[in-house]
Structure 1
Amino acid sequence: MPVVDIRSPNLSRSIEFRRKLTRSEGGIVVAQNRLAAHIGTEVLRAGGTAVDAALAASFAIGVLEPWMSGIGGVGAMLVRSPDGAVIAIDAGARSPRGLDPAEFPLVEGRDGDLFGWPNVLEDRNVTGARSVGVPGLVAGLAAAHRRFGRMPWRDLVLPAATIAAEGPIVDHHTMLWIAQEMSRIRRDPACRDRFLPGGLPPSAPAAVSGKVARLPTPALAETLRLLAEAGPDAFYRGDLGRALAEDVRTAGGWLSMEDLAAFTAVVEPAATEPYRGHSLHFVPALNGGVTVAMMMREYAHAFTPTASAPDRASFLAAAEAMAKAWTYRFEKLGDGAERTLPSCTTHLSVVDRDGTCVALTQTLLSAFGSAMVSPRTGILLNNGINWFDPRPGRVNSIAPDKKALANYSPMVMTGPGDDVVAIGGSGGRKILPAVFQALSFIADSDWPLDAAIAAPRIDSSAPPTIVADARLPADVVAALGERWPTVLAERIGHPAHFTNLGAVRRRGGVNEGFVEPYHAWADAVAEGDALFA
């Protein structure tokens, strides 16, 4: 079948940002926003742990990059201690107890969001108060802090409050994201007021003006200050949570104080899967990690690399492994069903000077989540109901008080020896094949971290279609096209055809960090680095 080419002739072939691998004996924070990463390294420099740094960066990036994540969202974290233990903290979304599945009737067509589900009346599973799941991120961060934190909770939250009060700076990246989702943002009055001042996307003034445009969020700043001083219980059992729940219910959703009070982050040993002399560690249930591990298991069973770099045969075998893992995921995985390998967003990776490694992925799910802002708290809410299949009678169908099958896939790969890689990404289902390929490049070809993340790859997140990186050799693209419907696309920031990966690595007492080279905001910042070098 013919390969479809969607590349733009207007894009320069030198579009790749030139990034260097960050190396340090001190700690490193990798994030999709440099300021958030810098806030994390300041925590490391003040004596905080990798988990402390991850929490500070987490709160900050939720303000700086609100289209991806925030305290109205969910997430999952892996913490690998210097003694080798890997702990998983699962703060994934649940549907509210009062949710009524009958409120999501199917209509003709398929939605244009991440998953291509059958259309639901008024996009209720994607946009607005009905799409809101129970926000779990704050509970997950609190659980991590109780077990691994060293610095006071308030010191990790307050930097985000300061940013919210001042407002993140508007630049081209901000403008693109807001303009891209303008049709959804304008449906909610509070969301429209926050992101569309004057009814239009904000713009950055010319440099000669000496001015910057910002998007201050005073309600969110006050919420974060309260959260810093009163602690996480304010979110789940206090007046803050009550105001949040009442705002959602007033707008037609089901979130209640009972839902918030009942939410508990799951803290347990990570699941582990062997892979060619390495060990893969992932969050055990209802996220992308189990499917990444299955992809790697299928690949290891079906293919033994013979070349020093991925070639035609390896990409074909990888695509086959992905196809099998996707089939299993869609047919078998869901709350109350099989959750493990058959007998299975924004991302932060952190490593500190003691060797603790963190992989944290947090998300609102769709860009800008539900596109609903709680007026009293300033919190932008997730649309976790979009993770459920809107078709009734499926293992992952919409239902009350049910955990969502999410796509975030923080992973840790250890071995041989003292080698540790903590990796993850953003991009919905695209995360899974990207993490799988980067880890296989490291394990099978002994590639350095930067090469494994920057290398051409394929995306299989909308099976049976394969999206092929335009830098792949022609024979690889042709072979893929003979087997699957194949689209040739560029690796660019907008639109994002591929996942934005980020990872840290520790070997021989030296730390490394690298981020997606096509993401303008992302960076790997070492402890002690200046914000503007």
Structure 2
Amino acid sequence: MSHRLLIPFAALALSACATLPATTTAPPRIGQLDSATAGAQGIVSAADPRASQAGAEMLRAGGTATDAAIATMLALTVVEPQSSGIGGGGFLVRGDPNGAVTTYDGRENAPAAANPEWFFKDGKPMSIREAIPGGRSVGVPGSIRMAALAHRQHGKLPWKRLFGPAIRLARDGFAVTPRLHEVLAEYPVTGAYDAEGRDLFYNQDGTAAATGRIIRNPALADFLTELSEKGPGAFYTGQNPTAATVRINQAPTNPAPTTPSDFAAYQAKERQPLCGAYRGYRICGMGPPSSGATTVYATLKQLERFDLGALGKDSPVAWHLIAESERLAYADRGRYLGDGDFVAVPAAGLMDPAYLASRSALIDPARTLGVISPGTPPGAQALSWADPATQPENGTSHFVAVDKAGSAVSYTSTIESIFGSGLVVNGYYLNNELTDFNLAPSDANGRPTANRVEAGKRPRSSMAPTLVYGPDGALRLAIGAAGGATIPAQVLKAIIGVIDWKLSAQDAIALPVIFAPEGDTVFVEKGSALEAMIPALVALGHKSVIAREPSFKANAIERVGNRWIGAADPRSEGAAVAE
């Protein structure tokens, strides 16, 4: 996440990309998204076409959507090192053809030595910029443990087979894309923090690798090979945690007392999915420590009494209603969401239809609300306020896969900031996920916050991998996004686009984003139709409407009739690839 306070839209680049071989000198070019026929083929959509191709290769080999999603995650570790992969964590939501949903939590956790003052310096909380680089921000990575758990339950191909495309990309080389070049140039503080990262991605004069340059990462190829042959335990015991903790303990900035035992103790978890009804559709997502499902669903359900379809996507009133509903949902997110293993999160209460109807009653289509306060959902306890919007991230990636049997996976993977902590081990970047905790453990009144640092705890997340089932009970849409606190806003407006405005998933993803945390400021996407609506939004009472550059990266697969159709954010380099 790019920690620019209350600036959720940092510049992302470029358009949807087509597939290219790993060893070509040219970066991905702009192209058309592929689609696949339901029941005959599967499809994968990811933020890089080479990762989509890796997943599609698993489908062609007879693999499941879970196999394809894992192969995609591994390939993204190589070709999108700034955003996701084995050095971080994520959430995976899987749905079978009969609508049964399973969710997996691979969120990173804090080491045993962590405490509420983990990010203190000279008796005061560090700033975000101080806290990111180096060892103290690194959480124990969960990606491999979660992948292994999901694979044991829903995989078909051998574990080793899933690593093939990523190993080839790392060993044979991959071309630097315009986006990777851009972030290398913009974020040398983390991209070039470590000598290993500098040697991989920067020239001797310190400039970033040019677009089209071939990057080979033999250290990562070797380690992926080790993981493929020895199994997931090789990430959590042996040379990898030893090397990682030495790097964390001896980091030039913010060294931290993480140990190999912290790695060995990590467990991925199967969590209870959170599902609710919206206009006859069933919306399912990831519960705590993610705030994704509750925030997406609350915003949608609070809007259900309004005829968004009649208003249409070009109506300032429609976007005003979305912003107002977001403000209410984000206020509850900030008050109540955290790691449910440590704090009592009223997840069911936050999705309770009666409670959300009471929140919806506060929304006026003719004018904005004044001060927004959290509500009191059933089961709520008095937890302290935590700012939901100060940590917009760019170090995240979302991808989706559907197999020929009709099973679907929606998977968000992250290392938090661009290039995470900047520390590189065995060719991959370690996350800075612990900065998703509140750096100050108490509020202004001295009350402990729900999202404070604690040993073994997982920080609150905005990731929102989502499955949408139609009134007929069949999967209609698998979707998710990257972009920090804006992730729920991206996902919910795309769902509105598909359900209320009858758009294709591709057009719904391409809709502009309005992001309205609980304060007075509303952010709209610069250069979009929403920017032209600023006067109308101000006339409805919004005190501050600010246009920001976009930082969006959504991917989806939808069912239309008897076909699966892939979608990727036109602001990104993503693409869908059919089996």
Report the TM range for the smaller structure's normalisation: 0.7 to 0.9
Q: CA deviation at 1:301?
A: 4.8
Deviations 1:189-210 (A, max 9, x none): 33333332314233438xxxxx
Q: Report whether the alignment pairs 1:384 with 2:424.
A: no
Seen in structure 2, the aligned counterparts of structure 1 residues 369 and 297 have a Cα distance that, compared at 3 Å, is: same
Q: Report whether the alignment pairs 1:404 with 2:459.
A: yes
What is aligned with 1:425?
481
Q: Report whether the alignment pairs 1:228 with 2:257.
A: no
CA distance in 2, matches of 1:272, 1:310: 29
Larger deviation, residues 93-102 vs 357-366: 93-102
Seen in structure 2, the aligned counterparts of structure 1 residues 244 and 82 have a Cα distance that, compared at 3 Å, is: same
Seen in structure 2, the aligned counterparts of structure 1 residues 508 and 474 have a Cα distance that, compared at 3 Å, is: closer
What is aligned with 1:55?
70
Tell me, what secondary structure is at the counterpart of 1:432? helix
Tell me, what secondary structure is at the counterpart of 2:175? coil
CA distance in 2, matches of 1:510, 1:391: 49
What is aligned with 2:158?
152
- After TM superposition, list the pairs within 5 Å mapping 1:157-306 onto structure 2: 157-204=163-210, 213-251=213-251, 252-287=255-290, 288-301=292-305, 305-306=309-310
RMSD: 2.8
Counterpart contact for 1:129–1:249, Cα < 8 Å: yes
**Count of aligned pairs between the two proteins:** 494
Counterpart contact for 1:54–1:348, Cα < 8 Å: yes
Q: Report whether the alignment pairs 1:361 with 2:412.
A: yes
CA distance in 1, matches of 2:54, 2:551: 27
What is aligned with 2:384?
none
- After TM superposition, list the pairs within 5 Å mapping 1:522-533 onto structure 2: 522-527=574-579
Q: CA deviation at 1:302?
A: 6.1
For normalisation by structure 2, the TM-score amounts to 0.79
Seen in structure 2, the aligned counterparts of structure 1 residues 369 and 305 have a Cα distance that, compared at 3 Å, is: same
Deviations 1:378-407 (A, max 9, x none): 231000111011112222122322111012
Seen in structure 2, the aligned counterparts of structure 1 residues 201 and 175 have a Cα distance that, compared at 3 Å, is: farther
Q: CA deviation at 1:237?
A: 2.8
Tell me, what secondary structure is at the counterpart of 2:54? helix
Seen in structure 2, the aligned counterparts of structure 1 residues 21 and 313 have a Cα distance that, compared at 3 Å, is: farther
| 2:544 maps to which of 473, 481, 485 | 485
CA distance in 1, matches of 2:343, 2:304: 26
Q: Report whether the alignment pairs 1:436 with 2:492.
A: yes
Tell me, what secondary structure is at the counterpart of 2:477? strand
CA distance in 2, matches of 1:213, 1:20: 25
Q: Report whether the alignment pairs 1:471 with 2:528.
A: yes
CA distance in 2, matches of 1:290, 1:343: 6
- After TM superposition, list the pairs within 5 Å mapping 1:6-25 onto structure 2: 19=32, 22-25=35-38
One-letter code of the match for 1:368?
Answer: F
Q: CA deviation at 1:185?
A: 3.2
Seen in structure 2, the aligned counterparts of structure 1 residues 475 and 368 have a Cα distance that, compared at 3 Å, is: closer
Q: CA deviation at 1:106?
A: 6.2
What is aligned with 1:97?
112
CA distance in 1, matches of 2:265, 2:10: 48
Q: CA deviation at 1:101?
A: 4.1
CA distance in 2, matches of 1:46, 1:289: 33
Larger deviation, residues 188-197 vs 431-440: 188-197
Q: CA deviation at 1:259?
A: 1.6
CA distance in 1, matches of 2:215, 2:204: 12
One-letter code of the match for 2:286?
Answer: V
For normalisation by structure 1, the TM-score amounts to 0.86
- Gaps (5+ residues) in structure 2? 1-6, 15-29, 352-395, 443-448
| 1:69 maps to which of 63, 67, 84 | 84
Counterpart contact for 1:124–1:131, Cα < 8 Å: no
Tell me, what secondary structure is at the counterpart of 1:430? helix
Q: Report whether the alignment pairs 1:330 with 2:334.
A: yes
CA distance in 1, matches of 2:314, 2:299: 16
- State the identity as a percent: 30
Deviations 1:93-130 (A, max 9, x none): 2111112443522689xxxxxxxxx9716945311111
CA distance in 2, matches of 1:48, 1:100: 43
Q: CA deviation at 1:7?
A: 12
Tell me, what secondary structure is at the counterpart of 2:105? strand
Q: CA deviation at 1:187?
A: 3.4
What is aligned with 2:19?
none
Q: CA deviation at 1:23?
A: 4.3
What is aligned with 2:503?
447
Q: CA deviation at 1:473?
A: 5.8
What is aligned with 2:135?
129
Q: CA deviation at 1:265?
A: 1.2
Q: CA deviation at 1:27?
A: 1.0
Tell me, what secondary structure is at the counterpart of 2:487? helix
